[in-house]
Amino acid sequence: MKKTEKPEKPVILTCAQPSGVLTLGNYLGALRNWATLLDTAECFFGIVDMHSITAKNVPAELRKNSISCLAQYIACGMDPERCHLFMQSHVIGHTELAWVLGCQTPIGDLQRMTQFKEKAAKLGFSVTEGEDNGMRFSHDGARAQASVNSGLLFYPVLMAADILLYNADQVPVGDDQRQHLELCRDLARRFNHNYSDTFTVPEPLIPKQAARIRSLQAPEKKMSKSDDDPLATLYLLDPPKLIRKKIMSAVTDSDGEIRFGTDKPGISNLLQILAATGGESIETLVHSFEGKGYAELKSATADSVVALLEPVQKRYEELMADKGYLESVLKVGAEAAQQRAYRTLSKVYRKVGFYPRAR
């Protein structure tokens, strides 16, 4: 690099499946943090619709969720003027690179992925490791096996391709994606070793102290979008009235004391939510609620969540009313992503020995 040249900004990439509505936890733990990265890095944010079809879904819903997901991202602060927002299926290279990487990935490595095992187990299929690290099926395994699609097994390879295609330096992910990212790093190193230096080995960017928001109805578990209890989870797009209803009916305990501790999961969760949304520390909050009742804590928490989400929801509505704008964001995003993707893909194709196409 010449002395006068500015060093390139680091490249940050992350992706999420277009699974409909985001939760308050997604916003506080992920999106809000991503939005702070825009000025110091070149950021790529992908909506990974191709990952979504590993699970059953209705095409019309996938389409609707994808555009809604984009609007939610932008409303949460991912300013399209300062980052690249794109749909995975709009960029050629994700599946192409996944194929190449897959040809260097032992099946056993994929069968060992915790998330694969969990998802497979949900389909009634149990996996135990044999000496060869392969799968052993349970008694009813033969039938169940047929219902696990191979896309589910290949999922982490596609995810690795999402990252390596852009030569990302850093990848913001939740703790549950640590293992997938480790596989991605292995694949990058393996390719670099087998051919020659091609991929940046990406670093995970895991939030130091992300607020751990828990279910309002069963605060010993994480707040999750797949919860069956309609009162358990706060969604980004819940109307204020519903937010209040959910928080006012949150499960607490009967000792009447407002303090933070493992023996008080319900109250601690409300304090966490209030701290994460209002910006005051838990200590300060505990102090200011001394001698007050649970109802007061709940109503302050509800006010705080509503105040934080109201502008986000307003922006979301405006965006959804302007599909032309959203589509133009995707067009520009896909062009930027494609440019970078082609560079990597052509390098990879050359290195693995594919005969070059005449120009």
Residue numbers at the binding site for ligand TRP (CB under 6 A) = 14-17, 48, 51, 159, 162-163, 171, 173, 177, 180
Q: Which two tokens stand for residue 238?
A: 């819940």
Contact indicator for 239, 309 with CB cutoff of 8 Å: no
Judged by CB, which is closer to ligand TRP: 17, or 304? 17
Closest CA to 187 of 101, 106, 99: 101
268-to-7, 54, 101, 265 alpha-carbon distances in Å: 45, 36, 44, 5
Taking the least distance from each CB to ligand TRP, the nearer of 181 and 330 is: 181
Nearest 5°: the CA angle 16, 22, 25 is: 100
CB of 212 to ligand TRP, least distance (A): 17
Q: Which residues of 309-335 are buried (b: 16+ CB within 10 A; e: fewer)?
A: beebbebbeebbeeeeebeebbeebbe
Of the two residues 85 and 305, which places its CB atom closer to ligand TRP in the complex? 85
Do 236 and 312 meet the contact criterion of CB atoms below 8 Å apart? Answer: yes
Residue with smaller CB distance to ligand TRP, 177 or 200: 177
Q: Output 185 or 246, the one with its CB closest to ligand TRP.
A: 185
CB of 185 to ligand TRP, least distance (A): 12
Phi, psi of 7 (to 5 degrees): -65, 145
Q: Within 13 A of 323's CA, how many CA atoms are on the CB side?
A: 5
Distance CA 31, CA 74 (A): 10
State the minimum distance, in angstroms, from the CB of residue 214 to ligand TRP: 19
Residues in CB range of 335: below 8 A, 6 or more apart: none
Q: Which residue is nearest to ligand TRP (CB)?
A: 15
Question: Least Å distance between CB 163 and ligand TRP?
Answer: 5
Q: Which residues are catalytic?
A: 119, 222, 225
Cα(89)–Cα(114) distance, integer angstroms: 26
